[in-house]
Amino acid sequence: MRKASSIGAAVVLTVAASGVAVVGAAAPASASCSHSHSNVDPKFGQLFNATNVNIRTGPHTTCGSLGYGQLSHSVDFHCFASGDRVSANGHTTYTWTYLRDTTTGVSGWVADALLDNLGGNVAC
Protein backbone atom coordinates (compact mmCIF):
# COMPACT_ATOMS: atom_id res chain seq x y z
CA MET A 1 0.00 0.00 0.00
CA ARG A 2 1.30 3.42 -0.88
CA LYS A 3 0.70 5.16 2.44
CA ALA A 4 1.82 2.38 4.74
CA SER A 5 5.17 2.27 2.99
CA SER A 6 5.73 6.03 3.38
CA ILE A 7 4.99 5.85 7.09
CA GLY A 8 7.23 2.81 7.45
CA ALA A 9 10.04 4.67 5.72
CA ALA A 10 9.62 7.60 8.11
CA VAL A 11 9.86 5.24 11.11
CA VAL A 12 12.96 3.57 9.67
CA LEU A 13 14.59 6.97 9.15
CA THR A 14 13.68 7.97 12.71
CA VAL A 15 15.17 4.78 14.11
CA ALA A 16 18.29 5.11 11.98
CA ALA A 17 18.84 8.72 13.03
CA SER A 18 18.10 8.42 16.72
CA GLY A 19 17.94 4.75 17.62
CA VAL A 20 14.43 5.32 19.00
CA ALA A 21 11.10 5.23 17.17
CA VAL A 22 8.27 7.25 18.66
CA VAL A 23 4.74 6.65 17.40
CA GLY A 24 2.00 8.77 18.90
CA ALA A 25 -1.73 9.16 18.41
CA ALA A 26 -1.56 12.91 17.91
CA ALA A 27 0.91 15.55 16.87
CA PRO A 28 2.78 17.45 19.57
CA ALA A 29 1.32 20.74 20.74
CA SER A 30 3.99 22.49 18.70
CA ALA A 31 2.88 20.80 15.44
CA SER A 32 2.72 23.34 12.65
CA CYS A 33 -0.40 23.87 10.58
CA SER A 34 1.78 25.18 7.76
CA HIS A 35 2.67 22.30 5.41
CA SER A 36 3.86 22.43 1.82
CA HIS A 37 1.71 20.90 -0.88
CA SER A 38 1.48 20.82 -4.65
CA ASN A 39 -1.20 19.82 -7.14
CA VAL A 40 0.29 16.55 -8.40
CA ASP A 41 -2.60 14.08 -7.94
CA PRO A 42 -5.09 13.81 -10.84
CA LYS A 43 -7.85 12.32 -8.63
CA PHE A 44 -11.16 14.19 -8.87
CA GLY A 45 -14.82 13.48 -8.03
CA GLN A 46 -17.33 13.13 -5.21
CA LEU A 47 -15.00 11.74 -2.58
CA PHE A 48 -16.11 12.74 0.94
CA ASN A 49 -17.49 9.68 2.77
CA ALA A 50 -19.20 11.61 5.58
CA THR A 51 -21.08 14.86 6.15
CA ASN A 52 -19.64 18.02 7.71
CA VAL A 53 -16.03 16.95 7.11
CA ASN A 54 -13.56 19.55 8.41
CA ILE A 55 -11.24 21.00 5.78
CA ARG A 56 -8.31 22.17 7.91
CA THR A 57 -5.35 24.54 7.58
CA GLY A 58 -2.92 21.66 8.27
CA PRO A 59 -2.87 17.86 8.67
CA HIS A 60 -3.55 17.95 12.40
CA THR A 61 -6.79 17.86 14.38
CA THR A 62 -5.64 21.01 16.23
CA CYS A 63 -5.45 23.05 13.01
CA GLY A 64 -8.33 25.41 12.32
CA SER A 65 -11.26 24.52 10.08
CA LEU A 66 -11.73 26.50 6.87
CA GLY A 67 -15.07 24.92 5.95
CA TYR A 68 -16.94 21.65 5.70
CA GLY A 69 -17.11 19.03 2.96
CA GLN A 70 -20.36 17.20 2.23
CA LEU A 71 -21.22 13.90 0.53
CA SER A 72 -22.59 15.78 -2.49
CA HIS A 73 -19.48 17.96 -2.98
CA SER A 74 -16.86 17.34 -5.65
CA VAL A 75 -13.17 17.61 -4.81
CA ASP A 76 -9.85 17.93 -6.60
CA PHE A 77 -7.06 16.07 -4.76
CA HIS A 78 -3.61 17.67 -4.77
CA CYS A 79 -1.38 15.38 -2.64
CA PHE A 80 -1.12 13.60 0.73
CA ALA A 81 1.18 13.91 3.77
CA SER A 82 1.56 12.41 7.24
CA GLY A 83 -0.37 13.97 10.10
CA ASP A 84 -2.45 13.12 13.16
CA ARG A 85 -4.05 9.73 13.64
CA VAL A 86 -7.76 9.79 12.79
CA SER A 87 -10.28 6.94 13.03
CA ALA A 88 -13.56 7.12 11.13
CA ASN A 89 -15.80 4.87 9.05
CA GLY A 90 -13.93 1.74 10.18
CA HIS A 91 -10.52 3.08 9.10
CA THR A 92 -7.59 4.50 11.06
CA THR A 93 -5.10 6.62 9.13
CA TYR A 94 -2.08 8.82 9.82
CA THR A 95 -2.27 10.48 6.41
CA TRP A 96 -4.14 13.56 5.22
CA THR A 97 -4.91 14.79 1.72
CA TYR A 98 -4.65 18.40 0.59
CA LEU A 99 -7.63 19.07 -1.67
CA ARG A 100 -9.90 21.73 -3.09
CA ASP A 101 -13.64 21.36 -2.57
CA THR A 102 -14.73 22.43 -6.06
CA THR A 103 -18.32 22.92 -4.88
CA THR A 104 -17.38 25.59 -2.30
CA GLY A 105 -13.90 26.63 -3.46
CA VAL A 106 -12.37 25.85 -0.03
CA SER A 107 -8.87 24.29 -0.08
CA GLY A 108 -7.18 22.53 2.82
CA TRP A 109 -6.30 19.26 4.54
CA VAL A 110 -8.73 16.39 5.23
CA ALA A 111 -7.97 13.23 7.19
CA ASP A 112 -7.85 10.30 4.76
CA ALA A 113 -10.21 8.22 6.94
CA LEU A 114 -12.92 10.70 5.86
CA LEU A 115 -12.28 10.28 2.12
CA ASP A 116 -13.28 7.51 -0.29
CA ASN A 117 -10.45 5.09 -1.02
CA LEU A 118 -8.51 6.66 1.87
CA GLY A 119 -7.55 9.87 0.09
CA GLY A 120 -4.96 10.87 -2.46
CA ASN A 121 -2.40 8.67 -4.17
CA VAL A 122 0.55 11.04 -4.65
CA ALA A 123 2.77 12.30 -1.83
CA CYS A 124 3.35 16.04 -1.46
**What is d(CA 117, CA 42) in angstroms, rounded to the nearest whole number?**
14
Looking at residue 89, what is its pLDDT?
A: 85
d(CA 58, CA 111): 10
Structure confidence at residue 123 (pLDDT): 95
pLDDT at 34 (0 to 100):
85
Sign, CA torsion 6/9/15/18:
negative
pLDDT at 77 over 80: yes
Check if the beta carbon of residue 95 is closer than 8 Å to that of residue 10.
no
pLDDT score for 23: 31
Report the share of the chain in percent with pLDDT over 70. Answer: 75
pLDDT, mean of residues 39-66? 92
pLDDT given at position 15: 30
- pLDDT score recorded for residue 31: 67
Distances in Å between the Cα of 4 and the Cα atoms of 12, 58, 93, 95 are 12, 20, 9, 9
Query: Is residue 91 left, alpha or beta, with left meaning phi > 0 and alpha meaning psi from -120 to 50?
Result: beta
The yes-or-no verdict on residue 16 having pLDDT over 60 is: no
- Residues 6 or more apart whose Cβ sits within 8 Å of residue 2: 121
Average pLDDT over residues 68-81: 95
Q: What is the pLDDT of residue 76?
A: 94
